[in-house]
Amino acid sequence: MALVPPHGGKGLVCCLLEGDELKQEQKKAEGLKKIEISPRGKGDLIMMGIGGFSPLDGFMTKADWESVCSKYLLADGTFWPVPVTLDTDDEDVKTGDEIALVSEGETYATMKVTEKFEMTEENKKWECEMVYKGQGEDSQGDFMKVALEDHPGVQMVMNQGKYNLAGPVKVLSEGDYPTRYAGIYQRPSESRKIFEDRGWSDVAALQLRNPMHRSHEYLAKIAVEVCDGVFIHSLVGNLKPGDIPASVRVRCIDVLVKNYFVEDKVVQGGYPLDMRYAGPREGLLHATFRQNYGCSKMIIGRDHAGVGDFYGMFEAQTIFDEIPKPEDPGKALICEPLKIDWTFYCQKCDGMASLRTCPHGKDDRVLLSGTMLRKGLSEGTDIPDHFGRDEVLDILREYYSGLTEKVAIKTHKAAEGN
């Protein structure tokens, strides 16, 4: 059995230059107009560079943007769940220009501008309504008013520049990810080779942006039971204030895998995106690029990629049943959701369980949430027994003891048992 093919039917579409071609383009970039890009844009560029965003080879046109927001499809009919756009306030850039895309003094790519289109406040609000609005309490009533205060993804969109630039890119750098996260950060070609060398064909991805607590461990072990192996895939790009940095999360995963997993059934990796906090839509994005990394399944649990109370607890699962399914298999999303119910430690069951397997009441359950764990550690409160492994909690307490500033952390009402 072979691994699942990359999304889009074109193999891995990699825009990263190497060798003489890279040197020539770097020299050319020195003479081009420079456009500063956001951290999100940098992550998107690198993913296009390494093939993680296959089949994308550049930033979206207006037709792509509109179709993705309203139909979950690129203009050519290929499934894609969230906009990948490049914004700017630069008035002088025009269609046909070649530009260099830079971040904090480093040139990450060159780009041929094939289209420049204005993003009015109404355009941005429409994108937010289509992509970020969910079925949770915070999405009811005046969604935009609440979201402007509490939704980092919506804030990101509304703070974008006046224009979007579209066009193909030539990626020149992966930044410091290959060195800063050596052994963790991977290109899709690298994870695919690891899976193939192990003889895996059915691989489940576990998305992580929080430290790995007992619920994550349980989800991963369920996946190991039904698949060839599990890919614990951590976000190593930017998070929102109060989230725990990737270097700390990687240490937590290392100690868990070493002590509580059959090591040859687990691969750990990292990818360079920023969180968009788009809930169900982001769950679809996670499945889409995990297919490029060689995964046939995406673990989707409670409130996947959510923030606050904007999304229903299992909305990121049901959305997989509602998306368009193009007839061309190359254009359809092939990576399937591995839907797992709310998991917790049950005192009466004396072990990890879910709503499907445990008949007991909430008073017997230790509800597990990455947000609740961060909140407890940040505020110095006691962490309930069975919430996390002692080895992991020791690492996290060490991290929090060294913080000089702490961010107030808002928990999901359902995660608090309300």
**210 noted as active-site residue:** yes
Distance, CA of 156 to CA of 169 (rounded, Å): 22
Residue 318, H or E segment: helix 315-318
Q: Tell me the residue type at 325.
A: K
Q: Annotated catalytic residue: which of 123, 164, 210, 292?
A: 210
Backbone angles phi, psi at 182, to 5 degrees: -55, 130
Q: Is 356:374 a contact under the CB 8 Å cutoff?
A: no
Q: Given 209, 249, 290, 302, which residue is catalytic?
A: 209
Tell me if 339 sits within 8 A of 328, measured CB to CB: no
Which amino acid makes up residue 139?
Answer: S
Nearest by Cα to 186 from 392, 47, 346? 47
Nearest Cα neighbor of 297 from 390, 374, 376, 202 is 202
Q: Which amino acid is at 389?
A: R
Q: Are 409 and 374 within 8 A, CB to CB?
A: yes
Among 294, 84, 262, which residue's Cα sits nearest to residue 188? 294
Q: Tell me how far apart the alpha carbons of residues 74 and 57 are, in angstroms, rounded to a whole number.
A: 13
- Within 10 A of 215 (CB to CB), how many other CB atoms are there? 26
- As given in the structure block, the two tokens for residue 112 are 């041929």
The answer to whether 235 touches 271, Cβ cutoff 8 Å, is yes
Where helices occur in 88-170 by DSSP H, the ranges are: 121-131, 143-150, 152-158
Q: How far apart are CA 412 and CA 409, in angstroms?
A: 10
Buried-state track 144-158, b at ≥16 Cβ within 10 A, e below 16: bebbeeebbbbebbb
Are 325 and 78 a contacting pair, CB within 8 Å? Answer: no
Measured in Å, how far apart are the chain's first and last C-alpha atoms? 46
Has 281 been annotated as catalytic?
no
Q: How far is CA 111 from the centre of its chain?
A: 24
Q: How far apart are CA 236 and CA 183, in angstroms?
A: 13
Residues noted as catalytic: 209-210
